[in-house]
Structure 1
């Protein structure tokens, strides 16, 4: 199958999780024998180099710079030249998604819109992006609901979750220094304060914790830990490679998820696959609770006091280093879901 990805920006030039999801999907498709063309603004060097092969994917220049107007104007001809079987349009900015949908209709080429939920919004274009494609893929029910609020029919939106590599989960060594772990970019949505208050509730008990990640709020979080007089029992690791994070999760008892905004809680998923007891503070803007619904090693809380109680009760839950029930989130398994989506919108009747 020949799949044409459409995204003005890519993960090579912009730090967005939705773009990284697209890069990973394109690479995995190429690894599994599919032809993949990625239409984008140029992120590689050389003005005279209109295409660039990377990770088995042919990146093809539509514009030299990420300029929305120029990109959308040149996109129809670029899409026509690819001759793809399916168009995979990455949401954000939505204007190029709407153009890809119109061109797909003219070319009789089905269009899947991958809507992660972190793309830029443009007045009036969200509704066009949500309604013009054959199928919208979202990482969670939370994002699916938001797409439906933009007018998409329920039957044209399908959840395709984020995926993880289970090989390091199975093979990485165990780092058992910490009882409780939090991991995420420390930005305005991190909401680490809930965990700090919960740990302060257990000041007289024996525990150790790690906060993994970096970001603009790190200094404020470290200051809050000092003010609560628990900083001597918390290790701020900064950003760590995936394998090191996995080693910490495999040795920890509890993974705490308290962020206020999360289209998909990937680090929580990794921790659950590593056997952690996943404790999620319910937040209206986060999908994290979806990962622990009906899961025996998952808990939902609504306050620091409840979080402290669950951390205490976790001492009675046997430790594990791998949870096979999350194998459905492995890269290959989720890629199969994408391929099912492509085949469905091509008319095989799977959807």
Structure 2
């Protein structure tokens, strides 16, 4: 299958959540033998119109960030690729309309990946148009599905496609017992790790070691909170670690705590649960993390630092695991199968009209 992704920026421009998600899906599709091209702003050196990386072809739409020029040139670029399906990231929303022009010319379905960032400043009419004009809308969680429905997307055209983890890599990873409790996420304005540290301070009379994985602009404030609470000697800040480096630490830990105020899908939590951690999630209206523990008998959903502390203490009586096979349906291959099924359904449905 020929799949054309559309994104003004990619993980090569900036390592944010949605860019990492798109890159992972694109590279896994290419590894499976699909012909994958990402139409984007140029990020590679030289004047080459295209660049191959990890099996994926990156096709230049514009050489520099220029939204209007990108939208104007996009239909021509897509038309030249002749894809079977066009997969658009919702940044900017108008790219959906531009991609649909090419889709109409070549009778190609347009699917949209929607992730609902809280700092989105696009006018509401752009969101409504994008949600209603796509043939199918891909969302990472039921929480984001609710948002897309509010913008008028057809409920029957929405597919929930979660993030995925490497179960084989988790099973084979060694165990690093440096931490009992772990927090992992980009340390940005939505991290809310101070709530986690307040909970750990409630347990200062117990023996525990904490690892905080991640980096970002909020890290100095989080480190200051640990010092102010006088628990900094028991909290290790490990910085940003790739998934391979996280696995041993998560397999050696007993509890993973999620407190972030925004998460269209809690990827780090999923990885921790698959590594056998007991999950403790503080409910946040802008986060989908609760969806992962609602049906997990080892997980819990709380609403305050005191409740986080109580659940961590209660988890001490639970058996320590290093793998949780209940999360095998979130393996990379299993989730990729769902993507391919959705692409094929979009192509078949489009052919009916």
What is the TM-score with the length of structure 2 in the denominator? 0.95
Of 237-246 and 25-34, deviating more is 237-246
Between Structure 1 and Structure 2, how many residues are aligned? 348
Question: Per-residue displacement from partner, 1:280-313 (whole Å, max 9, x unpaired)?
Answer: 0000010000011111121111111111111111
Question: Per-residue displacement from partner, 1:143-186 (whole Å, max 9, x unpaired)?
Answer: 11111111111111111001122232111111112111111111
- Does the 8 Å contact 2:211/2:235 carry over to 1? yes
* Structure 1 runs (4+) greater than 3 angstroms displaced: 118-121
Structure 2 partner of 1:87: 86
Q: Which runs of 5+ in 2 are unaligned?
A: none
Structure 1 partner of 2:142: 141
Partner secondary structure for residue 40 of structure 2:
strand
**Within 5 A, what are the aligned runs for 1:63-212?**
63-118=62-117, 120-123=120-123, 124-212=125-213
User: In the TM superposition, what is the alpha-carbon distance from 1:93 to its structure 2 partner?
Assistant: 0.9
Structure 1 partner of 2:28: 28
User: In the TM superposition, what is the alpha-carbon distance from 1:328 to its structure 2 partner?
Assistant: 1.1
User: In the TM superposition, what is the alpha-carbon distance from 1:120 to its structure 2 partner?
Assistant: 4.7
Question: Per-residue displacement from partner, 1:36-86 (whole Å, max 9, x unpaired)?
Answer: 122112111111x11111111221111111211001111111111111111
User: In the TM superposition, what is the alpha-carbon distance from 1:258 to its structure 2 partner?
Assistant: 0.5
Partner secondary structure for residue 240 of structure 1:
coil
**Within 5 A, what are the aligned runs for 1:54-65?**
54-65=53-64
Question: Per-residue displacement from partner, 1:295-335 (whole Å, max 9, x unpaired)?
Answer: 11211111111111111111110000001111111111111
Question: Per-residue displacement from partner, 1:117-149 (whole Å, max 9, x unpaired)?
Answer: 338542221111111111000111111111111
Structure 2 partner of 1:40: 40
Partner secondary structure for residue 45 of structure 2:
coil
Partner secondary structure for residue 316 of structure 2:
helix
- Does the 8 Å contact 1:292/1:300 carry over to 2? yes
In 2: Cα distance, 1:241 partner to 1:83 partner: 35
What is the TM-score with the length of structure 1 in the denominator? 0.96
- Does the 8 Å contact 2:251/2:276 carry over to 1? yes
In 2: Cα distance, 1:348 partner to 1:111 partner: 12
- Does the 8 Å contact 1:88/1:111 carry over to 2? yes
Structure 1 partner of 2:242: 241
- Does the 8 Å contact 1:18/1:115 carry over to 2? no
In 2: Cα distance, 1:263 partner to 1:41 partner: 25
- Does the 8 Å contact 2:76/2:102 carry over to 1? no
In 1: Cα distance, 2:266 partner to 2:243 partner: 15
